[in-house]
Structure 1
Amino acid sequence: MVSVAVAPFETEVRTRAGDLVRADVYLPADGGPFPVVLGASPYQKSLRRLPPHPVFPFTEYGPIQLYLDNGYAYVAMDTPGTGRSEGTWDPVSRAEGEAIGDMIEHVAVQPWATGAVGMIGMSHYAWSQWNAARTRPAHLKTIVAYDGATDMYRDWMYHGGIPVQGFWSSWLFGSVLMQHTLNGIGFREGGKDQFVYEALSHPFDDEWQRRRSPFWELDKVEIPVFSIGVWGKGPLHLRGNFYGFERVRGPRQLLVTHPESFAQAQAYYFDEDFHRAELLPWYDHHLKGTDNGVMDRPPVRFYVNGERTYRSATSWPPADAEPSAFYLSGERSGAVRSLNDGSLCEDAPAADENPTSWSYPDPEWRAGVTVFDADGRPDHVARVTTFTTAPANRDREFTGHGVLTLYASTDQADLDLIVKLSLLPAAGGQPLRVSQGWLRASHRAEDLALTSDMRPFHVHDHAEPLEPGTVYELRVELLPMSFLARRGDRIRLEISNQDSLIADAPMTHFYGQKVGNDTYHHDRRHPSSLRLHERPR
């Protein structure tokens, strides 16, 4: 249970849309007025009585008491149509961002506030920060977006055009709707049922999706922004933290931290030492005017997986990162038991070779692609296609972006690509997932204004069915990464059209009605390749 110096009280404001929205205000015991940190979410401010714990994944507000002890007011807001706030729930819409902005302007002029407001919180709270920042409220001085998406469509609702299913269910029903019913607030109150209907009715990046994606307006944001990504939350928020950092126009820093799982990322946000070292100095400088040198920190800092250390750069990707290519080959790597055990080679194919074909759904799949051996142990790659490098002959750091260019054909009108990149330590032990990507082939069209050689940006505004038997060049965006492959380590690429319901949960995808045969071509006419940014060592 959260301990506070003074019991919270409720404040309310009528938004420009006419909704009465409410927030709880926590104040330090003595003194004032105070700068304000404000968090906004649909997770019901009344639930702050629950302890931070993986069974309560919506406890994403951070260590309130720490900020009270350091002279900040903490404001916890229910977004419109949720908790104690009236109106219609329209998550991450521009209208919701404006409502948060109205609350910011309201609290900024209260007698207990100095007028300087920053925003706080992780995941959905970070998403709310990007959303409010794009509406540019006058008293919002900074945001610190820890683990927060910026593009609803691409970051988590439709990965590469493939609908996300697992997280959608756990978030929408588990963290929002069912928690409201436990507090006597029905599914249909606040229009929550309408959002469910609408969300399932927009499979393309249309105007409905764009209103819920701050990404498109972040180039108007000029306040200081501290974007903090978490490698362990890659398939949900990581992409948004990088794009958010790149698009804003004011003073900015990017930090990418080390937690390797969803649960670890949640727990890390309640680590008071982390806040004292990283977030509190930022707020002190931008909300209190403290000259503490925080803006002298490197613009980009990142944890290097496999090396377990932090490094810094002046930009992302680092200026010294250059693309290195690995070509897919049918030659057996001898590294793993999989459908094909193919190789990744640094020499481009010089001759024709047989392609890699496979059929789906695989008869041995049990938990998505995962199968189980005679002792009940799960194997996540035995029934997928893999391509693995030879053992590294030197230490190699891969930091930046990655792209898989795959020449593929199918006997169907479409095909899905679910791609994973893992580091295989020479010393043995569990592979370390370092990146992943997704693409529905009918969504292969790219936005020429935003795409680049190492980072394709797909438009997702229409479908182009495939002609069975025709070979297509498909470019799959891989999530940002940083890892050190030490001498003797290998890199493994996995390709399938289905997730592991164990290793990939909760970011799993709707399988649908896929039955067919897909073929991946890797010869001199079709040089399928994996390209990664590599830094000199």
Structure 2
Amino acid sequence: MSTLSVEPFEITLTDRRGRTLRADVFLPEGEGPFPTLLAASPYQKSLRRLPVHSVFAFVEYGPMQLYLDEGYAYVILDLPGSGRSSGNWDPVSIEEGNAIHDAIEYCARMPWSTGSIGMIGQSYFCWSQWNAARTRPPHLKTIVAYDGATDLYRDWMYHGGISAQGFLGTWLIGSVLLQHQAEGHDIRGGGRNEVMADILSHTLDDEWHRRRSPFWELDKVDIPVFSIGVWGKAGLHLRGNVMGYNKVSGPKQLLIAEPDSFKGAQVLFADESFHRDEILPWYDYHLKGTTNKVMERPNVRYYVNGAGRYDQATTWPPENVQASSFYLSSVRSGVVDSLNDGSLADAPVTVERDSTSWSYPDPQWVAGVTTFQNGVPNHTARITTFTTPVFDTEREFTGQGVLVLHASSDQTDLDLFIKVTVLPVLGQPGVPRKVTQGWLRASHRHEDPQLTRDIQPFHTHDRIDPLVPGEVYELRLELLPMSFVVKPGQRIRLEITNHDSALLDQPMTHWYGQKVGSDTYWHDAAFPSRLILQERPAD
């Protein structure tokens, strides 16, 4: 059980739309008033009693007792349409942000609060922070945005235009609907049962999505922001943490932390030492006025995967990166069991005609793209791969990346599921290590000219441009933020398919749909398909 030294009391307020909002308030010992931390989610304040564990993935409050001991009031708000608050649940909408705004201002007027309000929490609690910040509550002094997206369409609902229904189902049904039912609520109450249909009905980035994507208004946020991403949540939140950091206009810092899994991200946020080292000093400075050196920390800090160290920069991507290209080729690498075992070369391919074709769904797929050989799973045997020669020196790739792929199909659309992995030294122990990934539906290839960068395409997702069967198209696929080293003897492998591995990719899996056909990837002198990664020069 998750116990605290004090019992909460419940407050009730009415927001600007007349909805009744309820929150639990935990006050520290001693005379107030106190600086106040507010956490807001649809996960029901009554569930705070549950321990931090992966089976309770929604327990994401952080070490509350630490903050009580340090003299902070801690408020847990049930969002409209959830828990004990009235109204309909409209997830991460601007209307929900306005409700949080009203709760912040209500708390600021209470005799137990100094009026200096910060926000706290992970994942949905972090969405609530971005969402409230864009409404600019006068008494919101800072947010610590730990592990939370900012553009819900691109960050997770529709990766590259493809529905991420695997996470949608486990999150919406498991963490919200069934948990409400278990607490005695009608799962049809508050419009909660309608959210799935709403998400699946809005397949393009329309006004419904814009209302629940704080990204578009974060340039108005000028309060101090500490954005913390986690490598293990790259397919759900990391892109949002990085894009949010770059978009806000006030004092800011970015930390990309080490954990390589969903569970690791949750455990880190519950770790008192992590909060004492990283987050508590931020709140102390901005909410208490404590003199410390927190604002002297580097603007950007990130864990370098494979190197076992944290590094720093003044910007993201780091200011001294350069683009390095690896060109796809049909020449066999001789090291990967896959449909084609192609290569990645440092120089452009000069042959006049070179391509890789494959058909789907593959008859040997068992668990998504994964097959089994003598009971052992093989994740690459029935997909296409392109692999570099062994590296002779250590190289660091940090920042953004893009796959420029020339492709054709016998269908009017095609999907791309991309992974970049580092292979262990041949003959030595170890497993391939995924370092970045991305997705794109070809009919969503149109890019926003204002937001696109050479190394980072930004797709509009506001239109469908079908393919003409047999015609070759240049597709530019955004890769998620990355930082990793490749050591001597290791290789980089690019994986391309149109489906997830049910074993490796949970919970961020996608709807396969009705895809039947054949695709061809072109990589020759006329169509120089290439993987481009930002590389940080050696010291």
TM-fit CA distance, 1:193: 2.1
Q: Residue 423 of structure 1 aligns to a residue in which SS?
A: strand
**Matches of 1:49 and 1:239, distance apart in 2:** 31
Deviation string 1:468-503 (CA, Å, 9 cap, x unpaired) is 000000000000000011111111110000000110
Deviation string 1:135-155 (CA, Å, 9 cap, x unpaired) is 000000000011000011000
Count of residue correspondences: 536
**Matches of 1:354 and 1:310, distance apart in 2:** 41
Matched, 1:56 2:63: no
Asked if 2 retains the 8 angstrom alpha-carbon contact of 1:369 and 1:499, the reply is yes
**Matches of 1:441 and 1:157, distance apart in 2:** 17
Aligned residue number for residue 399 of structure 2: 400
Aligned residue number for residue 104 of structure 2: 104
Asked if 2 retains the 8 angstrom alpha-carbon contact of 1:256 and 1:302, the reply is yes
**Matches of 1:118 and 1:12, distance apart in 2:** 20
* Counterpart AA for 1:2: S
Aligned residue number for residue 474 of structure 1: 475
Asked if 1 retains the 8 angstrom alpha-carbon contact of 2:231 and 2:257, the reply is yes
* Counterpart AA for 1:5: S
Task: List gaps (5 residues or longer) in structure 2.
Answer: none
Q: Residue 310 of structure 2 aligns to a residue in which SS?
A: strand
Asked if 1 retains the 8 angstrom alpha-carbon contact of 2:124 and 2:148, the reply is yes
Q: Residue 118 of structure 1 aligns to a residue in which SS?
A: strand
* Counterpart AA for 1:436: Q
**Matches of 2:391 and 2:32, distance apart in 1:** 59
Q: Quote the RMSD (CA, aligned, Å).
A: 0.7
Q: Which runs of 4+ in 1 moved over 4 A?
A: none
Aligned residue number for residue 391 of structure 1: 390
Deviation string 1:233-259 (CA, Å, 9 cap, x unpaired) is 000000000000000000000000010
Aligned residue number for residue 199 of structure 1: 199
Q: How does 1:504-523 map to 2 (within 5 A)?
A: 504-523=505-524
* Counterpart AA for 1:462: R
**Matches of 2:502 and 2:2, distance apart in 1:** 34
TM-fit CA distance, 1:530: 0.3
TM-fit CA distance, 1:195: 2.1
Aligned residue number for residue 351 of structure 2: 351
TM-fit CA distance, 1:425: 2.1
Aligned residue number for residue 528 of structure 1: 529
* Counterpart AA for 2:401: G
**Matches of 2:23 and 2:227, distance apart in 1:** 25
**Matches of 2:143 and 2:230, distance apart in 1:** 17
Matched, 1:46 2:17: no
* Counterpart AA for 1:337: D
Aligned residue number for residue 252 of structure 1: 252
Asked if 2 retains the 8 angstrom alpha-carbon contact of 1:5 and 1:27, the reply is no
Q: How does 1:212-227 map to 2 (within 5 A)?
A: 212-227=212-227
TM-fit CA distance, 1:4: 2.2
TM-fit CA distance, 1:378: 1.1
Deviation string 1:199-228 (CA, Å, 9 cap, x unpaired) is 111000000010000000000000000000
Aligned residue number for residue 80 of structure 2: 80
Aligned residue number for residue 265 of structure 2: 265
Identity rate, percent:
63
Q: Residue 430 of structure 2 aligns to a residue in which SS?
A: coil
* Counterpart AA for 2:262: F
TM-fit CA distance, 1:379: 1.1
Greater shift after overlay, 475-484 or 182-191? Answer: 182-191
Deviation string 1:406-440 (CA, Å, 9 cap, x unpaired) is 00000001000000011112144111111000000
Task: List gaps (5 residues or longer) in structure 1.
Answer: none
**Matches of 2:197 and 2:313, distance apart in 1:** 44
Matched, 1:301 2:304: no
Q: Residue 269 of structure 1 aligns to a residue in which SS?
A: helix
Length-normalised TM-score, structure 1: 0.99
Asked if 1 retains the 8 angstrom alpha-carbon contact of 2:156 and 2:237, the reply is yes
Asked if 1 retains the 8 angstrom alpha-carbon contact of 2:177 and 2:193, the reply is no
Matched, 1:453 2:461: no
Asked if 2 retains the 8 angstrom alpha-carbon contact of 1:257 and 1:303, the reply is yes
Asked if 2 retains the 8 angstrom alpha-carbon contact of 1:206 and 1:461, the reply is yes
Aligned residue number for residue 341 of structure 1: 341
Asked if 2 retains the 8 angstrom alpha-carbon contact of 1:40 and 1:78, the reply is yes
Q: Residue 81 of structure 1 aligns to a residue in which SS?
A: coil
Aligned residue number for residue 130 of structure 1: 130
Asked if 1 retains the 8 angstrom alpha-carbon contact of 2:395 and 2:486, the reply is yes
Matched, 1:382 2:381: yes
Q: Residue 435 of structure 2 aligns to a residue in which SS?
A: strand
Q: Residue 200 of structure 1 aligns to a residue in which SS?
A: helix
Deviation string 1:155-196 (CA, Å, 9 cap, x unpaired) is 000000011111000000000001101112112100112222
**Matches of 2:74 and 2:58, distance apart in 1:** 18
Aligned residue number for residue 279 of structure 1: 279
Asked if 1 retains the 8 angstrom alpha-carbon contact of 2:350 and 2:525, the reply is yes
* Counterpart AA for 1:491: I
Asked if 2 retains the 8 angstrom alpha-carbon contact of 1:37 and 1:118, the reply is yes
TM-fit CA distance, 1:354: 2.9
* Counterpart AA for 2:525: R
**Matches of 1:170 and 1:3, distance apart in 2:** 27
**Matches of 2:295 and 2:149, distance apart in 1:** 24
Deviation string 1:100-122 (CA, Å, 9 cap, x unpaired) is 01100011111111100000001
Aligned residue number for residue 499 of structure 2: 498
Q: Residue 267 of structure 1 aligns to a residue in which SS?
A: helix
